[in-house]
Structure 1
Amino acid sequence: MTTAGDPGLLDTLQHQVAVFARRAEQTRLGGVGQVRNTMDRAAYLLLNRLDQEGPMGVKALASSMGIDSSTVTRQVAPLVDSGLVKRTSHPEDGRAVVLQLSPRGASRLDEVRTSRRQLMADLTHDWAPEEREAFCALLTRFNGALSARMAPQGSAEAEQPPVA
């Protein structure tokens, strides 16, 4: 395996990614105000995916997120218990379970998105619009490369950005 590029630049990049990951976890990039840090990363990503793609089964949800079905089952249980996600029977196969965002879940997700959107605005308030766009495009590309590297061979899984 060869390393392409400037080793010093790559060292800085890997260090900044590590610092970003630590700071993101410390703050959970949870937003601002009263909504700050009130939804964990797993819940946010699950609710966001159900909002983007609509009702789906556990296996489909796990596959679309690039995680194991047992992980989805474990992570979705408290969302069902708190009324953010509804479990319903599959319309064609009553034995299968379909997960869908509840009205309460949609409302809660909107609150969290609004808070996180404000945090992103605050953090980049002194950036030019082109800088925000470039950063967003590069971060999306970087996350896509990470997702592709982690996806099983032959899989087209990639974490999709949220809809605006």
Structure 2
Amino acid sequence: MTRDRDQWWTDDGVDALDVIEVQTAVIARNLELLRRRGDIYGELDKASYLLMRTLDAIGPADIATLAAKLGLDPSTVGRQVTALRAHGLVERTADAQDRRRGIVSATAEGRELLAHTRVQRRERTAELLHGWHQDELHALGAMLTKYNRAVARDYLLSAPDETAEPG
């Protein structure tokens, strides 16, 4: 599956693919450390946070639309919505045009919790990236976006709709 081996080696003899592979493992570990020790999600786990961010970006939507935006199976999103409803963070109402179709929207409590969580996450991220130059921040954001899209392309049910991604 590895393409031409020469493409992974830099001019200074570094195996870039090896560096990326190791750093991907390190970032996964570090994100888990942040989750456990830093309370970066607060009351929202990763899945709930991303679903709430998607609702915030697109507004009320049905399960199929949310699933397409997130690149997940509708049954997975349905379970996530059920859990969020149980905590009073979203509500589901019948579509005025098609009463069989449910529309999911964030409650006031859900929007408030999302806003609070976003502030916490941004503050923590700002602390970690303190001292970085603007060009480094932009480059990191662009590279992470490109990497996440590659993962989504190969591993999600469908590629997430980019309108749900923050710009």
Q: TM-score range by the shorter chain?
A: 0.7 to 0.9
How many angstroms apart in 2 are the aligned matches of 1:66 and 1:50? 14
Shift of 1:143: 1.1
1:126 alignment counterpart: 131
Selected match of 2:142 from 137, 140, 155: 137
Deviations 1:52-80 (A, max 9, x none): 01111111111111111111111111211
Shift of 1:31: 6.0
Selected match of 1:11 from 3, 13, 18: 18
How many angstroms apart in 1 are the aligned matches of 2:61 and 2:41? 29
How many angstroms apart in 2 are the aligned matches of 1:156 and 1:117? 25
Percent identity of equivalent pairs: 36
Structure 1 unpaired stretches of 5+: none
How many angstroms apart in 1 are the aligned matches of 2:47 and 2:37? 12
Matched pairs, number: 159
Q: Give the TM-score normalised by the residue count of structure 2.
A: 0.84
For the 8 Å contact 1:31–1:115, the answer to whether it is kept is: no
Residue 53 of structure 1 aligns with an amino acid whose one-letter code is I
Pair 1:24-2:31 in alignment: yes
Shift of 1:157: 3.4
1:157 alignment counterpart: 160
For the 8 Å contact 1:30–1:38, the answer to whether it is kept is: no
Shift of 1:29: 8.2
Decide which moves more: 23-32 or 42-51.
Answer: 23-32
How many angstroms apart in 1 are the aligned matches of 2:36 and 2:135? 22
Structure 2 unpaired stretches of 5+: none
What secondary structure, in the 3-state scheme, does the structure 1 residue paired with 2:109 have? helix
How many angstroms apart in 2 are the aligned matches of 1:77 and 1:87? 9
Decide which moves more: 135-144 or 106-115.
Answer: 135-144
Residue 21 of structure 1 aligns with an amino acid whose one-letter code is A
For the 8 Å contact 1:43–1:79, the answer to whether it is kept is: yes
For the 8 Å contact 2:152–2:159, the answer to whether it is kept is: no
1:45 alignment counterpart: 50
Selected match of 1:82 from 78, 84, 87: 87
Decide which moves more: 131-140 or 118-127.
Answer: 131-140
What secondary structure, in the 3-state scheme, does the structure 2 residue paired with 1:147 have? helix
Please tell me whether Structure 1 or Structure 2 has the larger radius of gyration of its CA atoms.
2
How many angstroms apart in 2 are the aligned matches of 1:42 and 1:74? 11
